[in-house]
Amino acid sequence: MLNHLLFNKRCTTGVCAVVVAVLATVAPVAWSQSQVSYTMLEVEAIAAQGPWPMAMPADVGNELSGKLWAEKLGETLFHDPSLSSNQAISCATCHQIENGFSDQLPVAIGLEKGVRNTQGLLDVGLQRWFGWDGGADSLWSASIRPMLNKHEMGLDISSLGNALRDNKVFMSAVETHASDIIFNGQPVRATADLNDEQLVVVAGKSMAAFMRTLQSEATEFDLFRVALLENNVEAQAAYSNSAKRGLKIFIGEANCRMCHFGASFSNAEFHDTGRPFFTGVGQVDPGRYTGIQRVKNDPFNLLGQYAVGSSDVDKLKTSEVKLGQINWGQWRTPSLRNLAHTAPYMHDGSLQTLRDVVDAYVNIDTDRLHAQGESILKPLNLNEVQRNDLVEFLLSLSVK
């Protein structure tokens, strides 16, 4: 991962610092004005948080992924409330463009109040598992789930099939592009023969094709990263000192990069960060533990008949994932991009602001993490300025 570093390798020991000058004309030597410098190791770590944007992989098992007509159809369906039992809720009800495809609520409200925070959908195509619990193994199966979920859109397969059959735009697109659609290894001949479940799959795959196009642009951080690697001192100056210090904390003493790793700031796996997961008196949402059960039992998973063209390697994650004690109360590491638009935070929306999130990490209750569990997270000794720096850095991961 670190073998393509662009920065100038004149120093070969970690001791030797790559100094990033802020402005040549800095006068007062206050903390906030002073130079921020990174060691070689730190620069390597920063390099690993990019490049951005990334190439978007195809949605696994989805033969419609990348097809323009499907992307367009998917966008239409995404806004179509007739795919809900009360004819009033569409995907866009919760996944609102202006809010990073989230809804600003702690937990989503569809037909009923749910128990989880609406995930933003920018860059969603980069994920390996979908949902906070990874209960879906492809973007298209993650798109089918909300239509059938009783808290969200609340239809069953047959009423959803009927709604789709009544949808002229959908049926004519399917008719026109039938030969792109594969069932039982064959392109579809007569759309009239498609059963309810097959129609639902086509709808899900189209919506996934659309969502795969939702990509966020390069941010202040990305520009700084490039400037740093290219030793472009002038361009580095555009990045605030506060964000530079926050970045140093993020990859350094706070260890955030252990999980929020790579260009998408997520290792795509599941962890326990000590957050509570009660959903009411006598009820818990154990996250990944039920996610694994869900994905294993999902008729639309990559092991099922509707996954088209997925290789054995693609299927491994689903066939081999093991359910274990460790999964009780784990959540998918979210990407940290676009967070400026998707408050509140965490799987249950229990933290209002990024500062609240930082404070939660600083004051983490280690009793909630088993003595023999992951020992990555520890209470942090960060003062007011440092906490704000971390927030500044997090904000620099969103397009303004």
Minimum CB–partner distance for residue 365 and other proteins (Å): 8
Please state, in angstroms and rounded to a whole number, the distance separating the CA atoms of residues 100 and 268: 19
Interface stretch with other proteins, choices 7-15, 133-141, 254-262, 282-290 (CB under 8 A): 282-290
Instruction: Examine residue 278 and tell whether it contacts other proteins (CB under 8 A).
Output: yes
Minimum CB–partner distance for residue 232 and ligand HEC (Å): 27
Decide whether 262 or 286 has the Cβ nearer to other proteins.
286
Cβ–Cβ < 8 Å for 154, 163? no
User: What mask, x for binding other proteins by CB under 8 A, covers residues 23 to 62?
Assistant: ----------------------------------------
Half-sphere exposure of 99 (CA within 13 A, CB side): 15
Binding at 377: pick from ligand HEC, other proteins, none (beta carbon under 5-8 Å per type): ligand HEC
Residue 211: name the closest of 58, 355, 364 by CA: 58
Please state, in angstroms and rounded to a whole number, the distance separating the CA atoms of residues 386 and 31: 11
Instruction: Please report, as ranges, the residues that interact with ligand HEC according to CB under 6 A.
Output: 89, 91, 93-95, 108, 110, 114, 116, 118-119, 124, 127, 130-133, 135, 139, 142-143, 146-147, 152-153, 207, 211, 254-256, 258-260, 271, 273, 275, 331, 333-334, 336, 339, 342, 345-347, 354, 357-358, 361, 374, 376-377, 390, 394
Cβ–Cβ < 8 Å for 293, 353? no
Please state, in angstroms and rounded to a whole number, the distance separating the CA atoms of residues 201 and 197: 6
Minimum CB–partner distance for residue 131 and other proteins (Å): 19
Residues 6+ apart with CB under 8 A from 255: 376, 377
Minimum CB–partner distance for residue 199 and ligand HEC (Å): 14
Using CA of residue 382, residue 383, residue 384, residue 389, what is the dihedral sign? negative
Minimum CB–partner distance for residue 349 and other proteins (Å): 17
**Binders of other proteins among 288-327, rule CB under 8 A?**
289, 322-326
Decide whether 318 or 386 has the Cβ nearer to other proteins.
318
- What are the backbone angles phi and psi of residue 20, rounded to the nearest 5°? -105, 100
User: What mask, x for binding other proteins by CB under 8 A, covers residues 258 to 277?
Assistant: ------------------xx
Decide whether 65 or 143 has the Cβ nearer to ligand HEC.
143
Q: Which of 282, 297, 384, 400 binds other proteins (CB under 8 A)?
A: 282
3-state DSSP call for residue 268? Answer: coil
Report the interhelical angle of 241-251 vs 384-395 (nearest 10°): 100
DSSP code per residue over 58-91: PPTT-TTTT-HHHHHHHHHHHT-GGGSTTS---H
Please state, in angstroms and rounded to a whole number, the distance separating the CA atoms of residues 270 and 267: 8
- For residue 51, the 8-state DSSP code is -
Minimum CB–partner distance for residue 226 and ligand HEC (Å): 22
Minimum CB–partner distance for residue 346 and other proteins (Å): 14
3-state DSSP call for residue 26? Answer: coil
Binding at 346: pick from ligand HEC, other proteins, none (beta carbon under 5-8 Å per type): ligand HEC
Binding at 209: pick from ligand HEC, other proteins, none (beta carbon under 5-8 Å per type): none
Binding at 329: pick from ligand HEC, other proteins, none (beta carbon under 5-8 Å per type): other proteins
